[in-house]
Amino acid sequence: MKKYLALPAVFCLAASLLTACGGGKIETAAVDTAAEQGQAAAEDKETTKTETTKKEEGGTEQITLRFSWWGGEERLAATLDVIKQFEELNPNITIEPEYGSSDGYADKLATQLASGTAPDIIQIDPGLMPALVSDETNYFLDLNTSSFDFSNFDENYYKLRINGFYDGKQLGIPTGISGGAVLVNQGLADQIGIDFHTQYTWDDIFAWAKKVREYDDSMYLICSNKDYVANILANNYAKQLSGKTFINEDTKEINLTPEQWQEVYTFVKRLYDEEVIAPASYSAAYSGDNMQSDPNWIAGKYVCSFTYMSTMETLAAANADAEYTAGLFPLYQGSDVDAWNANCPQIIAINAKSKNPEAAVEFLDYFFNNEKAMETLGCTRSVPPTAKAREICTADGSLSKLLSEAADVAGSYSGMVDDKYFSAAEAKQIVTDEVEAVGFGVATPESASEETISLLNNYISGIQ
C-alpha cells in the first residue's frame, strides 16, 4: 500500500477539515451542548476508556469498546440509542461513547493513533483518511478480512478510495452518500421528448439542446453557471475523455495532454455557442450555489440542472409547480471511464490495534445493517449509504423520494474521485477562471489550454 501523505501533514490538514461534514439540511456540525451530553453519557459507563475490560460472568467474557464521533444533537441521540439497542442484544459488550465537537477532533485522533491510544471504532473525515493510511502505520483493520456484511452496499460506491477503499483494502465504511445529481423537470422533459432515465451520451446533450430551442427559444436544456460548468460538466467530461484524474499523485505531473485540454475547452465553448446553457453574461448574476434565484429557473424555463445532492432540493423548491426526478449522468462515447462518483460525509473505521476487532465488527454490522438501527439513525449522517436504509427513511418521511432516487443514481456509477492535488480550491479555481473566459469569448480553447497548463504547473511547483 502506498503512503498517501506523511503523518506530520495530518496536523497541518486538521485545522481545515471537519468544517463541512454535515449532510446539508440533514445534519449540522457539533454543538457544545451536544458535546457535553455525549461526555456525560461516556462518564456514566462503569468501565474504563483506556483498554478492554474483561470479566467472567457466568463464563461470558465482558468486552468494552470505545467509539468516537462528532456531530449535532440529533446524531448524538440517535447514535446513543443504537448503542443501547446493541448492548441489550449483546449484554457482554459495552460501547463507550467518546463524543465531542468537531473542533480539534482531527488533531486529537492523529495523536491517539500515533500513540496507540485511539478508540476501537472511529468516525473519520474522508479528507483526513489519506494522511493516515500507509504500510508503515497500518492504523485500520481491513474489513475485507472480517465478517462484516457488505451485501446491502453498492460495490461501485463503497469501493472508492474516498469511501475507505485503499489499494485493495476496505479500511472504512461510508456513513452516507453525497455527490452530483441531475435534477430533471420531468413534465417539461416529457413534453419535449427528452429521456434522462435511459443511459445517454454528451452527443445526446447537444442534440437535445437543439430540440429545446426549437420547442421554445426562451428555454435552455441545462441551468448552469461557470462554477457548475467547471466543477461538474467539464470536470467529468475531462476525466471520461482522458481516463485519468487531472494530476498524477506520484509524479505530480499533469495527466491531460494539451490536446485533451483543448478538447475540454472546446466542449465548454460548444455549451455556450450551441445554446445548451444560457449566455455567460446572464448566468454570471447567479453564480455559485445561487441558481435557484434565476427567474428563468423559477419560471420553469430549463429542462434540467446538473447540481449536487446537497442543493437539489433547494432548486426543486424554487419551482414548486414542477415535478422533479433524478436523471442519469451522460457518458463520453467510447470511454471506459464513467467518472461520475458519489462520496461520503464520514467514514467509520476499526482500529487495527483493537483488542476485540470481532466485537467491533459485530457492532458495525448492527449499526449499518440492522433495520431498527437504520430507522433510528435515519439521515443523521447524511443520506444513508444503502438502498435498504434509504427505503426505510423514505417510508417514514425522513428522506424525500427525490433525494433517495438521486442517491441510487449516484451510487450506481463506478466513479473517479479527483486526485488530492486537484481537489484543492486553488487548482479548481484555475479551471473555473478559464471556463469563464471561454464563456465570455475572451479566451479560445487553445489559449485556455495553454493558460491552464501553465498555472497548474506553477501550482504544482509549490506543493511540498
pLDDT in tens, 132-187: 988 888 999 999 999 999 999 999 889 988 899 999 999 999 999 988 999 999 99
Instruction: Give 34's pLDDT tier (boundaries 50, 70, 90).
Output: very low
Tracing cell 440517535 back to the chain, one arrives at: 78
Give the integer Cα–Cα distance in Å for 358 and 362.
Answer: 6
CB 435 within 8 A of CB 230: yes
Q: 179-341+418-461 architecture in CATH?
A: 3-Layer(aba) Sandwich (3.40)
Residue 59 confidence (pLDDT): 55
| 9 vs 82, higher pLDDT | 82
Instruction: Give 26's pLDDT tier (boundaries 50, 70, 90).
Output: very low
Angle between helical axes of 401-411 and 309-318 (0-180°, round to 10): 140
What does the mean pLDDT of the chain come to? 89
| 24 vs 414, higher pLDDT | 414
Instruction: Give 218's pLDDT tier (boundaries 50, 70, 90).
Output: very high
CATH 3.40.190.10 residue spans of the chain: 8-174+345-399, 179-341+418-461
CATH number for the region 8-174+345-399 comes to 3.40.190.10
Global pTM exceeds 0.95: no
Residue 447 confidence (pLDDT): 98
Mean pLDDT, residues 272-297: 97
CB 106 within 8 A of CB 14: yes
